[in-house]
A and B are shown apart, each in its own frame.
Chain A
Amino acid sequence: MLAAALAVSGTLFARRAKLLVALVRLGKPVERFDNVPERVKNEAVIVLGQRKLLQRLVPGLIHAAIFWGFLVLFPTIVMAMIGAVDKEATLPWLGHQGWFAFMIDLFAVMVLAGVIGAAIIRKIQRPARFEGSHLGEADLILALIAGIVTTLLLWHASRIALGLNEWPEGASPVSNALSGLFGDGDVTQVLERVFVWAHILIILSFLAYLPHSKHLHIATAAFNVYFARTRARGRLEPLRFDVPEEEMRFGAGTAPDLTWKQTLDTFSCTECGRCQDVCPAWATGKELSPKLLIMALRDQVFEEGPKLIRGEDGFEPSPLVPNAVTDNVVWDCVTCGACVRECPVSIEHVDHIIDLRRHLVMMDSSFPAESEQMLRDVERASNPWGKPQTERADWAAELGVRVLEPGEPAPEVLYWVGCAASFDERARTAAESTAKLLKAAGVDFAILGPRESCTGDPARRIGNEYLFQAHAEQNVSTLNEAGVTKIVASCPHCFNTLGNEYPDFGGNYEVVHHSELLADLMRDGRLEPASGNDQTITYHDSCYLARHNDVKADPRAIVEAVGMPIEMERREERTFCCGAGGAHMWMEERAGAINEERVREAADTGAETLAVACPFCTVMLDDGVKARGDELRVVDVSTLLAESLDAAGDDSSRLGGPLPD
C-alpha cells in the first residue's frame, strides 16, 4: 500500500514538475552559470542561513524554525515509511541515536511554534503586505505542516507507550510526555498505525499539492537563489541588436519572451508581500505592487505556457501588457530595488519591469507621452534636457575648471559632471561646490565639457536599450581615447552606469562618487571642515548609491564632520526613494507623491537640513519641501562641506583662490 501511495504521489509530483521545468525552459536564455563560488555562498547564506528572511526578525525566525525543522526532520519521513512497512524497523544507526530523537522533538516543537506564530500573524495581526496574496492556500499549507509534525510527535508518543521506541526513551522529552496519553493496549496499537499512516499520507499529499500551490517555492527557491544575479546590483543585462530580422524581438512582450530565470522567479514567489511593503509606488497609492506583478506574470505563464508546450494549433501568446499587468504597473516603477533587496527567494522584480518596458518602448513605441521629448533630446541633443552641448561647461566658466580638449593628456581624475548639474540650476550647486573642493584640495582633475554626453541611464531605465547602447559606445570611445582611468561622478545614476554598466561596452574605469572622494580627501587632511557646527542634518540615502552600490558611510562621514546627524528610520540600504529613478524625472506622477512621503519622514526627524548626494534627489526633495511647506533646507553634501570650509576661513583651504601647486 505504501508503494501505491508513493507511486500516486510521486507520479503527480513528477508530472507537475515536468510541466514546470518545461515552462521554465520556454524562457529565453540568460547567463547565470558563471561565478560558482559566489552562487554557492548565496545558497549557504540566503537559503540555509535564511538571511534575507531574518531582515524581519519575528517572521524570519518563524520561517527559519519551520525551514530548519524540515531539514532536520527530513530523515523522519524515511523512518516513517520504514516503520509503516515494518512496525519494528527504523533507519539504521540514525534511528537509534538519542541525540537525533532529541533533535526531532526539539525541531518538531519549533515547527509547531512557528506555525502558531504564523497563524497569529496572519489571523490576528493581519499585516498589509498580505493584501492580494492567496491566504487560503497559506492556511492550508500551515495546517498540513502542523499536521505533519503533530502526527510525528503522536506517532513517537504512541511508540514509546507501546515500548516500540528504538531510541533511548529519556532522549525525547516531548514525545515522552505525550506518551502519557496512551496506554499500552489495543487502542494504542491501532492509533500507532493510524498516526504513521496519517503522517505519511499528509506528507505525500503535501508533496503532490506542493507544485500546484505557491508552496512550490520549497522546490524552486533554492534554485532561484542559486541563479540570482551575482554581478553588480545596479547593472542591467544588455541586449544584442546585431541580429537577423527573425530575431528582432526585444524585451518581454509575451510569456515566452521572459528569460528562464524570470519565469523561475514567478514560480518562486511565496506571496509574502515583503516587497509590496517597501515599494514606494504602492506606498503612495499607485497600482504597482511587485508581489502582484510577479503573481500576475506567473498566472499568465501558467495559463498560456502549457498551450505553447503542447504546440496548440495557431495559438499565439497574448501581450503581457495589458493582459497580465496594466501600463500603469509598468510605468509606476522607480527602479529603486527595494523589492529585490527584501525578497527572501531572490526574485528580481526590477529585471521584469525593465524587460516589459523594453518591449513596450522598443517594439511598440508605447510609453508615457511626456517622456517622448526626453528620448528625442537624448538622441539628438545628447542630453535629456535638450539643451545644446556647447553650453555644458557654462557652469564652470568662472571657476577656472579645466576642460579636457581632444588630444590632451588625461587628468588624474576625470570629473563626470552629469547632465543634471550641467543644465539644472538646483543641481548645479553641487557641481560648483565639488569643483571648488577639488581645487582647494589640489586634485588634478578636468571635465569633458561639451564632449560629455548623457550616460544613457534615463534611456536605459525607460526601456530604450538601443538608444542607451549608442550613448554608451560613444562615451566609452571618448573616455578611452582620452586615456581616462579614474572618474568621479556627482550623480549616482552616472556613477552606477559608468562603473557597473560601461564595462559591458569596453569601458573599464575606477569610478567613485563625489562623496567618496571628498570623504577620502577629508580623511587625508586635504580638506578641513570647520568644527563646532551644530546644524542638525538628516541624510537621505540615494537608492543608486546605498542600495544598488553600498555607498553609505562616506556621505555620512561628511555630514558628521559638518553638523549633527539625525538618522531617518528608512536609511542606508533600506532607504526610501525620492521618486525620480526609472526615468521618473521625466514622467508625470499619477496619484500620491513619493517625494512628499520621503520629505515627511525627513521633516519628522526635526532636522533643519536635509542632506542629499544626488541631483535628482535634490530636485525631487526640494519640490517635496515646497509642496509641503516644510522648513527644510535641501542641500548636497558637497555644498555642506564647501560651506564648512568657507566658514573655517583657513587660507590654505579658501575656495575660489588660486589653484595650489
Chain B
Amino acid sequence: MPVLALIEPNEELSLQALSLARDLGQPIHAFAVGEAHVELGAYGVQTVHVAEDERLSAYAPAAWAACLEQLIDRIEPTAVVAAGTSRGNEVLGHLAARRNLPFAANCIAVGSEGTVTRVRWGGSLLEEARIDSELKILSVAPHMVEATTVNGGVANVETVQANLDDGEFVVRVIEHAETRSAGISLAEAKVVISGGRGVGSADGFGMLEELAGLLNAAVGCSRVVTMAGWRPHTDQVGQTGTKVAPDLYIACGISGATQHIAGCKGAKKILAINSDAEAPILASADYAVIGDLAEVVPAITAELRKAQSS
C-alpha cells in the first residue's frame, strides 16, 4: 500500500517524516518541487516525483496541493505524509480541504486501524485519534521522530507534468525580503540561551549575551519578556513563538510553563538555571543549577573563558 510523502527543499524535518511514512506502508513515493533528491533512497523512498512548472519557482500552497492531488489519483496511496513545518501543514491542509478529508497534524506515531498519536499544546499533551477515511492525511511533529536510514538503493526520479490552473497561483510568494540579522538565528543555533522573568530587565540580558558570545549561541526569551517589551517577539521561544531544536538549551530564570516548553522540547539537552528548586522547568530539564542566575551565569562565563583559553 503506497504512501506519498511531501519533501521540502533543504528540510531535515522531511526526513523525520519519512520514518513515520515507513510505518504506514510501502512503497514510499516522494513528491518534491524543483529538485530531485536521489539520496532519499537511503530513507526508504522508491520514487521521487519532481514537478516542473516554471510557475512553481515560487512557493504556492494551492499549486503544491494540486500536484499532490494528481499524484494521489495516479498512485492511489493509503496515506499522504509531510513534516509538520508551516509549509507542510499548510499544503496538507489545502489538500484535505480540497478533498474534504480529515487531516491529523503533528503526529508522532501511527497505530492500527487508522489511529494516530498526535501532539497538542505544542507537545505538552498527546491525543490518540482515529482518522476516519480511506486516505489518511497526516503531518509529522517536528523533532519528535528520528530520521533513520534503511538499506535502500537509489531512488528513481520521475518528472511530473502537473496540469495546474492559474487559479492555483493566486496565493504565491511574489517577493522575498532579506532581513539583516545580527548573529546567529534561533532556529539554526546549536546552543540557545534563553532568559525569562528572572532576568529582571532588558539590561539583565547583557550577561546572557556575553555567555552566548563564547558559545556562538543565540539568545532567546520567554513570552513574559516580550510582553514586557524587554526583547522583540522574534526572540521569543515557545508554542506561539519560535520552536528551537539546539544541542543545548539553557533556560535562565524561566519557570517552565508548558507553552514555553513547547518551544524548546526539541532540544537535545536542556539546562535550567533557576532559584526555585520546585519550578516546573526542572521536570522538563536534563540538568539544573539552583541559584540566582545573576551569580550563576557570570560564573559559567568566567569558567568557560578559563577553559577556552587553556
Q: Once bound together, how far apart are the Cα atoms of A372 and B224, in whole Å?
A: 9
Look across to chain A and name the residue whose beta carbon is closest to the beta carbon of B255. Answer: A387
Query: Is A425's CB under 8 angstroms from B228's CB?
Result: no
User: A86 an interface residue at 8 Å Cβ cutoff?
Assistant: no
Kindly report which residue of chain A lies nearest to residue B223, judged by CB atoms: A373
Q: Is the CB of B201 within 8 A of A373?
A: no
| Complex alpha-carbon distance, A588 and B200, angstroms | 7
Assess whether A425 is in contact with B278, with CB atoms less than 8 Å apart. yes
- Taking CB atoms and an 8 Å cut-off, the chain B residues in 258-310 that contact chain A are 275-279, 292, 294-295
Give the residues in chain B near A373, CB-CB below 8 Å: 224, 227-228
A425 adjacent to B276 (CB under 8 Å): yes
Q: Is the CB of B228 within 8 A of A369?
A: yes
CB–CB A369/B276 < 8 A: no
B200 and A425 form a contact (CB under 8 A): no
Chain A contact residues (Cβ within 8 angstroms of B): what range?
10 to 19
Bound-complex Cα distance A408 to B267 (A): 47
> What CA separation (Å) do A370 and B230 show in the bound complex?
8
Say how far B178's CB is from chain A's closest CB, in angstroms.
30
- Chain B contributes a number of interface residues (CB within 8 A of A) equal to 17
Produce 1/0 per residue, A574-596, CB < 8 A to B.
00000000000000100000000
> Is the contact region of chain A dominated by helix, strand, or loop, or is it mixed?
helix
Most buried by A among B200, B201, B228, B275: B228
Q: B227–A425 contact, CB under 8 A?
A: no
Asked whether, in the complex, the Cβ of A588 is within 8 Å of the Cβ of B201, the reply is yes
Taken together as a complex, chains A and B put the C-alpha atoms of A394 and B277 apart, in Å, by 14
Whether A372 contacts B292 by the Cβ 8 Å rule is no
Q: State which of B229, B277, B292 has its C-beta within 8 Å of the C-beta of A370.
A: B229
Chain B contact surface mostly: loop
| Residues of B with C-beta under 8 A to A394 | 278
CB distance B276 to A372 under 8 Å? no
Contact of A126 with B by CB under 8 A: no
Q: A352-400: which residues lie under 8 A (CB-CB) from chain B?
A: 369-370, 372-373, 376, 386-387, 394
Closest CB in chain B relative to A157 CB, distance in Å: 69
Return the CB mask of A166-204 against B: 1 if under 8 Å, else 0.
Answer: 000000000000000000000000000000000000000
- Pairwise interchain contact A425-B224, C-beta atoms closer than 8 A: no
Report the separation of the CA atoms of residues A369 and B231 in the bound assembly, to the nearest whole angstrom: 12
A626 beta carbon closer than 8 Å to chain B: yes
Contacts of A588 in B (CB 8 A): 200-201
Residue pairs across A and B with CB atoms within 8 Å: the count is: 29
B275 in contact with A425 (CB, 8 Å) = yes
A626 partner residues in chain B, CB cutoff 8 A: 292, 294-295
Residues of B with C-beta under 8 A to A376: 227
- Interface contact A372-B227, CB-CB below 8 Å: yes
The answer to whether A369 and B277 have CB atoms under 8 Å apart is no
Q: What is the bound-complex CA distance between A376 and B226, given in angstroms? A: 14
Query: A369–B257 Cα gap in the complex (Å)?
Result: 21
- Assess the A372–B228 pair: CB atoms within 8 A: yes
Q: Mark A413-430, 1 if CB is under 8 A from B, else 0.
A: 000000000001110000
Closest residue to B229 on the A side, CB-wise?
A369
Interface centre among B229, B277, B279, B295 (most CB of A within 10 A): B229
**Distance from B232 Cβ to chain A, minimum over Cβ atoms (Å):** 13
B260 → A minimal CB distance (Å): 12
Bound-complex Cα distance A369 to B255 (A)? 20
Question: In the docked arrangement, what's the CA distance between A426 and B274, Å?
Answer: 13
Distance in Å: Cβ of B291 to nearest Cβ of chain A: 11
- Considering the complex, which residues of chain B in the window 216-260 have a beta carbon less than 8 Å from any beta carbon of chain A? 224, 227-230, 255, 257
Q: In the complex, A561→B228 CA distance in Å?
A: 44
Residue of B nearest to A388 (CB): B257
Closest partner residue, chain A, to B204 (CB atom): A588
Cα separation A75 to B201 with both chains bound (whole Å): 64
CB distance from B229 to the nearest CB of A (A): 4
Q: How far is the CA of A58 from the CA of B296 in the complex (A)?
A: 51
Residue of A nearest to B295 (CB): A626
Contact with B along A506-539 (1 / 0, CB 8 A): 0000000000000000000000000000000000
Complex Cα–Cα for A578 and B299 (A):
28
Which chain A positions have C-beta within 8 A of B227? 369, 372-373, 376
Chain B residues with CB under 8 Å of A372's CB are: 227-228
Closest B residue to A368 by beta carbon equals B228
**Whole-angstrom distance between the alpha carbons of A394 and B224 in the complex?**
23
Tell me whether A425 and B277 are in contact in the complex, defined as CB-CB below 8 angstroms, given that A370-B230, A626-B292 are known contacts.
Answer: yes
The answer for the CA separation of A113 and B8 in the assembled complex, in Å, is 93
Contact A370 B228 (CB under 8 A): yes
> Which residues in chain A, 590-629, are within 8 Å of chain B measured between CB atoms?
626
Taking CB atoms, residues of chain A closer than 8 Å to B257 are 386
Interface string of B161-189 (1 = CB under 8 A from A): 00000000000000000000000000000
Name the residue on A nearest B279 (C-beta).
Answer: A425
Bound-state Cα–Cα, A424 to B257, Å? 15
Q: What is the bound-complex CA distance between A588 and B276, given in angstroms?
A: 21
A376 to B295, CA, bound (A): 30
Of all chain A residues, which has the CB nearest B202?
A588
Cβ of B284 to closest chain A Cβ, rounded Å: 16
**Min distance, Cβ A175 to any Cβ of chain B, angstroms:** 68
User: Closest residue of chain A to B227, judged by CB?
Assistant: A373
Q: What residues on B are CB-neighbors of A425 within 8 Å? A: 275-279
Q: How far is the CB of A63 from chain B (nearest CB, A)?
A: 44
A425 and B275 alpha carbons, distance in the complex (Å): 8
State the Cβ distance, B261 to closest chain A Cβ, in Å. 14
Residues of B within 8 A of A424 (CB): 276
User: Interface readout for B195-224 with A: 1 if CB under 8 Å, 0 if not?
Assistant: 000001100000000000000000000001
Bound-state Cα–Cα, A626 to B293, Å:
12
CB distance from A188 to the nearest CB of B (A): 76
- Can you identify 16 A-B contacts, CB atoms within 8 angstroms? A369-B227, A369-B229, A370-B228, A370-B230, A373-B224, A373-B228, A376-B227, A387-B255, A424-B276, A425-B276, A425-B277, A425-B278, A425-B279, A426-B275, A588-B200, A626-B294
The 9 closest A-B pairs by CB, nearest first: A370-B228, A425-B276, A369-B229, A373-B227, A588-B201, A373-B224, A369-B228, A372-B227, A373-B228
List 11 additional contacts besides A588-B200, A626-B294; criterion CB under 8 Å: A369-B229, A370-B228, A370-B230, A372-B227, A373-B224, A376-B227, A386-B257, A387-B255, A426-B275, A626-B292, A626-B295
